[in-house]
Amino acid sequence: MIIVIQCPDKVGLVAAISGVIANERLNIISMREHVDAIENRFFVRIEVAQSSVSDEFEQKLRNVLPHNATITINPEPQKRIVVMVTKEYHCLADILIRNYFGTLGANLLCVIGNHNNLQNICERFGVPFFWLSHEEKSKERFEDEIGEVITQYDPDYVVLAKFMRILSPGFTARFAGKLINIHHSFLPAFIGANPYRQAFERGVKLIGATAHFVTDDLDEGPIIAQQIIPVDHSFTTADMVKAGKEIETSVLAKALQLVFDDRVFVYKNKTVVFE
């Protein structure tokens, strides 16, 4: 069972929480905590051997925590996700394979695409595909159609696996905290379109990818995971794109694993990640 807590910091929190757990006769397997001294914020993730607790356990925790603490006890171990795509297959293919073999840590409910290029591969894996074209319709109508499908499935998270459309502030607010994006750049460098061309023209020696939560600010949401790989003068733009696709797949897979395992805490525009 997992217990995750976020609250203002104060002296004695670890001892107080441990005391409540001990009195409940729960055996702690692991306990990871962090204090953001600047924000005076306390974060803790606790794994215990038992699979259930008494009805009074959460209230007992609240009695020793600041009044506005956020507590989640035993989150759903198998998250529910919807994936959104455009034309690129590499991140989606990795998710489909992991979902098929039961190693994703989530249940893939459906895929939404604004092009139908990836419909066939989804059907091969038995995953529903919704083709919702953005053409010849307003942005508002397009996003309303997407929102209707997402709401129908009621997922825990919506994964933008190379979904190449900028979402409106209204849409991101509607699904705040649920949208996870893979960006083809080591943010905050080279935001927006054509990052590999930007990197090539700048003559960089490292390229990377960033998985982050989506907010109203383009490519500036809380970062979950990042990786980089070296490149040199011999790399063309095409070489960078090829290498970039591999690292994008890897970073997104890592980020999803962390989120699905309830190892990521979000506070303001930053994350605390217990790997």
Q: What is the 3-state secondary structure (H, E, C) of 4-71?
A: EEEEECCCCHHHHHHHHHHHCCCCEEEEEEEEECCCCEEEEEEEECCCCCCCCHHHHHHHHCCCCCEE
Q: Which of 109, 119, 111, 114 is nearest to 154 (CA)?
A: 109
Task: Choose the final residue of a domain: 73, 102, 126.
Answer: 73
pLDDT at res. 272: 97
220 lies in the same domain as 237: yes
pLDDT at res. 157: 98
pLDDT at res. 77: 81
155 lies in the same domain as 23: no
CB atoms within 10 A of CB 165: 15
201 lies in the same domain as 255: yes
Where residue 161 sits, what CATH number does that domain have? 3.40.50.170
Task: Choose the final residue of a domain: 27, 52, 73.
Answer: 73
Q: Which of 100, 113, 104 is nearest to 79 (CA)?
A: 104
69 lies in the same domain as 83: no
29 lies in the same domain as 46: yes
Where residue 13 sits, what CATH number does that domain have? 3.30.70.260
212 lies in the same domain as 248: yes
In terms of residue numbers, what domain contains 156? 79-273
Active-site residues, by number, are: 219
Tokens 């489909």 belong to residue: 96
141 lies in the same domain as 204: yes
Count the domains in the chain. Answer: 2
Q: Is 122 helix (H, G, I), strand (E, B) or coil?
A: helix
Which phi and psi angles does 31 have, rounded to 5°? -145, 115
87 lies in the same domain as 200: yes
83 lies in the same domain as 36: no
Averaged over successive runs of 10 residues, the pLDDT of the chain (275 residues) comes to 96 97 96 96 96 92 96 90 97 98 97 98 98 95 98 98 94 96 71 65 79 86 92 82 89 97 95 96
87 lies in the same domain as 196: yes
Exposure pattern of 188-215 as b/e (b: 16+ CB <10 Å)? eebeeeebbebbbeeebeebbbbbbbbb
63 lies in the same domain as 165: no
Task: Choose the final residue of a domain: 73, 101, 121.
Answer: 73
63 lies in the same domain as 119: no
